[in-house]
């Protein structure tokens, strides 16, 4: 391991998303004591030398590394799990992680079909002996509670019929609520909540189209200063593939925190059998690089191989 190339390979094996198990076995597994001493000395981001010149793992680095070792395991477990159970568990975990994870609840409530969301609610009953609605109402106390409870309770019409006159009228209602947001937060507006939580997704896409006509701006521009939960709700309902592409890209940023990195597994695994082809096209359009190449550059080992297998299957 005194070989600089091996040191570089070993450092890379511990970096990024997941770990490079093959490099760890071939390099670290065959190393000698003095080689591992050299690795510790040249890896100050992983090891700390205390006042006694004792080289020890940095506690924070150990915790991060444990998460990276578990990344492949979690991806496999979530892939094999029944989708309803998986979504129920994701909601349960999001509620306990706090406000920074409430977007996961929005994602599940807004990007699943009516039957899929109903299935997740049934699974939640079975797993936790109470309802998603009950847990959301209990754990969330801020301005977003009313919207989130209504979203997870929804059972939307999924047929092809859309009344364009009604959609245009409701686009005006939403636009007025957003423009008057300094007087009343639109996330607490009963009409906005009614529209976002009861209308079909085709109807909401018609509202999305008409919004630009009645406002002069896109709804995303007008929501720039609004609550993140409201912005994510509109994006998940109206432009889900753009939403998923952004979530994936944020998960692979070098400065992403642990929960943000977990989004990569969640999106790839939950959408693998649904609309991953469209998400890949959206990602390429937004970022100018294929999703498979981005994962190849940022993930390691079995975790990388598993994600690539999911996104390249027919």
Q: Is the pLDDT of residue 57 over 80?
A: no
Q: Is the pLDDT of residue 14 over 80?
A: yes
| Contact (CB, 8 A) for 123 and 159 | no
Q: Which residue has the higher pLDDT, 39 or 97?
A: 97
Q: With cut-offs at 50, 70 and 90, classify the pLDDT of residue 1.
A: very low
Q: What is the pLDDT of residue 85?
A: 98
Structure tokens at 138: 């209990």
Number of C-beta neighbours around residue 271 at 10 A: 21
Number of C-beta neighbours around residue 262 at 10 A: 22
Q: What is the pLDDT of residue 2?
A: 53
Q: What is the pLDDT of residue 139?
A: 97
Q: Do domains 82-155 and 242-312 have the same CATH topology?
A: yes
| Contact (CB, 8 A) for 170 and 207 | yes
pLDDT digits (tens, 9 = 90+) for 215-270: 999 999 999 989 999 999 999 999 999 999 999 999 999 999 999 999 999 999 99
For domain 158-221, the CATH superfamily is Annexin (1.10.220.10)
Q: What is the pLDDT of residue 34?
A: 74
Q: Is the pLDDT of residue 190 over 70?
A: yes
Across 16-20, 247-251, 307-311, least confident range? 16-20
Local structure of 57: helix, strand or coil: strand
Q: Is the pLDDT of residue 171 over 70?
A: yes
- CATH classification of 242-312 is 2.60.370.10, yes or no? no
Q: What is the pLDDT of residue 228?
A: 96
In the chain, where are the structural domains located? 4-57, 82-155, 158-221, 242-312
Q: Is the pLDDT of residue 172 over 50?
A: yes
Structure tokens at 141: 């106390």
Q: What is the pLDDT of residue 51?
A: 67
Local structure of 168: helix, strand or coil: helix
pLDDT averaged over every residue in the chain: 93
Q: What percentage of residues in the chain have a pLDDT greater than 90?
A: 80
CA distance 62 to 281: 36
Across 55-69, 70-84, 95-109, 125-139, least confident range? 55-69
Question: In Å, what is the CA distance from 93 to each residue of 96, 98, 209?
Answer: 5, 9, 35
Task: Decide: residue 8, CB within 10 A, 0-12 exposed, 13-18 middle, 19+ buried.
Answer: exposed
Reported pTM: 0.92
CA distance 189 to 206: 20
Question: In Å, what is the CA distance from 8 to each residue of 14, 21, 38?
Answer: 10, 15, 12
**How far is C-alpha 276 from the geometric centre of its chain's CA atoms?**
14
Q: With cut-offs at 50, 70 and 90, classify the pLDDT of residue 201.
A: very high
Q: What is the pLDDT of residue 50?
A: 73
For domain 82-155, the CATH superfamily is Annexin (1.10.220.10)
With residue 55 as reference, give the H or E element that holds it: strand 55-57
């Amino acid at each position: 391991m005194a070989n600089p190339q091996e040191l570089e390979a070993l450092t890379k094996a511990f970096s990024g998303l997941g770990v490079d198990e093959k490099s760890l076995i071939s390099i670290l597994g065959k190393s000698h004591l003095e080689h591992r001493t050299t690795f510790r000395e040249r890896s100050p981001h992983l090891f700390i030398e205390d006042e006694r010149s004792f080289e020890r793992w940095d506690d924070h680095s150990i915790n991060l590394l444990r998460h990276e070792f578990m990344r492949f395991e979690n991806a496999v477990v979530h892939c094999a799990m029944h989708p309803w159970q998986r979504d129920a568990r994701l909601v349960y975990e999001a509620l306990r992680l706090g406000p920074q994870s409430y977007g996961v609840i929005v994602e599940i409530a807004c990007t699943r079909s009516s039957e899929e969301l109903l299935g997740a609610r049934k699974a939640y009953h079975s797993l936790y002996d109470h309802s998603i609605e009950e847990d959301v109402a209990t754990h969330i106390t801020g301005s977003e509670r009313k919207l989130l409870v209504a979203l997870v309770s929804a059972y939307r019409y999924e047929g092809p019929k859309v009344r364009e006159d009604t959609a245009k009228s409701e686009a005006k209602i939403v636009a007025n609520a957003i423009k008057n947001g300094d007087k009343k937060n639109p996330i607490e507006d009963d009409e906005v909540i009614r529209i976002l939580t009861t209308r079909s997704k085709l109807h909401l896409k018609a509202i999305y189209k008409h919004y630009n006509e009645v406002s002069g701006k896109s709804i995303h521009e007008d929501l720039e200063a609004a609550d993140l939960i409201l912005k994510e709700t509109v994006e998940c309902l109206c432009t889900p593939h753009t939403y998923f592409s952004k979530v994936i890209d944020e998960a692979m940023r070098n400065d992403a925190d642990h929960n943000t990195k977990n989004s990569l597994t969640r999106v790839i695994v939950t959408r693998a059998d649904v609309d991953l082809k469209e998400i890949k096209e959206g990602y390429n359009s937004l970022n100018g690089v294929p999703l498979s190449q981005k994962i190849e550059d940022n993930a390691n080992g079995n975790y990388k191989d598993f994600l690539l297998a999911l996104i390249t299957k027919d």
